[in-house]
Structure 1
């Protein structure tokens, strides 16, 4: 059911938070909802493959996201530098205090494959850069309908190739991504491996979308507590991969062969998101294949809670980001020995 059945309360279940989350999270959740409503409520994504419609929608959506992220960047003292690596735009997030290391941290943003950007999705790279004391390179890949899964993963590989050509070895590079960016992180790493190229030292994934057929159990069982619009998400996926490629491992990495080797991986997800099954199934696939993988689940948390701009100082987001930074740092240290 889509509404609560407590007396006469008909508030949608997704707006009822469990008592098990922190008071700080409850307050941050309310502030973000208020900001969205003040801006006119959630904008419906286009049900069209017209690139002009998508560009107009993304301009508005990205501007709103940038405005929410601005206070976080100001608090952290993060600055940005634009680059082009392998003909792909990349935005470097430089922390206030930067360690004199030669490691590289790469981030792939989410946005349902059709939206987001290196500037709009600023919270995740800014927070991890601050925790690591390392710059984070955010890849500004070509979103759908401008790019499909094969061309976008090629762009990620091109960034890795450019870094290698510039003298940064793969074992001093770590990769993380959220949602659609988590899918791209896994798929692009598989592509690097299949092309006989070195893979990153470690991969971290926040709420990755890895099954474009949406066959996981929680796609249905948690639909009422998530904010996804499945009709519009399915339309976007059709542009990104299409019916003939939904099981291709570079589109749906859950179908990848992990027995061929894969970097140590951290997977984080929340108990109030439809993609929880994607994380569980990916963990099982990697674990059975003998990969070093950890599944880290957060009670009462929604999709990519680590990067909610109003929630970066909540206990839940702080813990998840600290564990991500510690995981990536531990493998950078091991690769340096």
Structure 2
């Protein structure tokens, strides 16, 4: 059995850790580390003779459920529209739609789908595509200039996306020139269909996912879109890539994370890095992946690659000059 305090911390976060300390004090401060949570083989008693099992049960049915719902709500809010994000190449996420469906091998272990299945209170219809109109104007309230990943929980060019709503999203992005909006899609056919019917502001960057050589075809469609910055997300990287980087300003690589992650090979990343150097394209390595995103770190031959396209340095100089120094660009 794991140490009980560790279990309470995992179940209820820091609030659980604090309440575990309170329960220990109630039972005289004597730790018990080998009995199952909420199921002690011999219920102990505190100084007042009250069963420790009863205290645990009372906590679970009152404070515990509240803490669980609080952390669940906060986690989902951070995913939907976050002032901070664990994605290294962006600053915020914005989800005017949620839900998607699998279209290629990179989708097999989709993290967004796992979040939807975990937090069913916030996704009552599962991972079906859904318009979230209440979030449409969120970027207008964010005063600090930021890089914003659009639809981290969906695909902006999903087959169910209404054209008029997509045009409204682009209008919001146009009205927020202080932000850079990063769009990533796997649906190159829908992109080719809708791109001519959209106005592409300078602060909108467009990327496509390229997980193996078969899907390099998405790059040809990307090149035809008049986005100010065009980029590739080779994550999860599932094989070696021979890339034509004509008209591409940025490449991101990364390994898959999760219990069923498919391993990435170092040589695949090194080859892409060399192709970027030869083409003069900014190279960003996000993670090696593993059980967790941080399992194997980010270093490539002892170096962190955080290169950004030149357009980012220009945007910083215009909207946040005090922060633009020291940003490495390709």
Same fold (TM over 0.5): no
User: Whose helix proportion is higher, 1 or 2?
Assistant: 1
TM-score, length-scaled by structure 2: 0.34
Bigger Rg, which one: 2
Structure 1 length normalisation: TM-score? 0.34
Choose between structure 1 and 2 for higher RCO, CA contacts under 8 A separated by at least 6 residues. 1
